[in-house]
Amino acid sequence: MAYQPSTTYYVGIDGGGSNCRARLTDHTGTVLGEGVSGSANLRLGVEHSIDAIRHCVSEALKQAGLSQLSTTDLKAGIGLAGLVLKTDIVTAAPIKALFAACQLTNDAYIACLGAHQGQAGGIVILGTGSCAQIICPEASRTFGGWGLTLADQASGSWLGREAMRMTLLAVEQIIPASPLTDYLGQPFGQDAEALFNWSLDAKPAHYAQLAPQVFQFAQNQDPYAQILLQNACQDLIRMIRVLERYQTGHIALLGGLANLYQSYLPAEIQALLTQPKGSALEGALLMAQDL
């Protein structure tokens, strides 16, 4: 499209732990272009996040036929994975400076904003990591989201890591092997040293790639996969119960594992859940359009 000097351009950015996505619109809300890049997790450093943001915004501008524009011509709403500390807003200031105007928050907030289209509600994100978010008149806060070392219960990375721990135990014959541990140990020749060497460089995203296998083997009655999902569901239910306290009547599960967990939850918990009305990118755009 041709550049319109009188038009205000908005970009919503979902800076997730696995990838960073941007959506560009004009003042009417018409989507003009989208872009995607790698992880924008702030815990990997602000320059890492900036590179991911620049790349996906550049792709969105190119798709829109607006390559002559730069980030400084745009109003932005951004949600970043890893933005969890009070001091992170200061750390992330160079990101805000990229744009003509910018609202910056964590990725859970924009996901919740989009899921309920700006209305009161809560979400649990079940992706590479996990966390819960509530937005309502009484509170706006995130629960969890502290990373795999201490948190991320029920997430893809948590399931994958626990499955690999089981695999190591089986390889060392501390526990009996199962189809799941045999499958996960096979690429490493069922060798403990090979598993250890892999773990030295393994990131949450690497563990998360194994999560679908846990669900698959659980369906085939693998005992360890079933134990892992039972434990994960207990943690997930705790997060849902926290959101229930706010009595918004709107709690949604989001992320790549959300649908996989549904059938493992008790009927009384499933009854508390609603379908999300929109995406994190829509939530980010709501923030941008409020500038």
Q: Tell me, what CATH number does 67's domain have? A: 3.30.420.40
pLDDT of residue 283: 97
Does 142 score more than 60 pLDDT? yes
pLDDT band at residue 145 using 50, 70 and 90 as cut-offs: confident
* 95/163 same-domain check: no
Question: Mean pLDDT over residues 264-275, rounded?
Answer: 97
The structural domain count of the chain equals 2
* 20/38 same-domain check: yes
Does residue 81 belong to any structural domain of this protein? yes
pLDDT band at residue 2 using 50, 70 and 90 as cut-offs: low
Q: 150 vs 138, 145, 158, 161, CA distance in Å?
A: 27, 9, 10, 13
Does residue 138 belong to any structural domain of this protein? no
* 242/173 same-domain check: yes
pLDDT of residue 43: 87
The residue assigned the tokens 């609603």 is 274
> What would the pLDDT profile of 108-137 be if each residue is shown by its tens digit?
999 999 999 999 999 999 988 899 999 999
Question: Mean pLDDT over residues 37-61, rounded?
Answer: 95
Provide the 8-state DSSP code for 42: G
* 250/265 same-domain check: yes
pLDDT of residue 7: 84
> What would the pLDDT profile of 86-101 be if each residue is shown by its tens digit?
999 999 999 999 999 9
pLDDT of residue 1: 60
* 111/213 same-domain check: no
Range of the domain at 44: 9-116+277-288
Among 28-32, 53-57, 87-91, 202-206, name the one with the lowest average pLDDT. 202-206
Does 4 score more than 90 pLDDT? no
> What would the pLDDT profile of 148-181 be if each residue is shown by its tens digit?
999 999 999 999 999 999 999 999 999 999 999 9
Across the beta sheet with 121-126, the strand order is 139-144, 130-136, 121-126, 251-254
Does residue 146 belong to any structural domain of this protein? no
Q: 100 vs 42, 66, 207, CA distance in Å?
A: 21, 16, 38
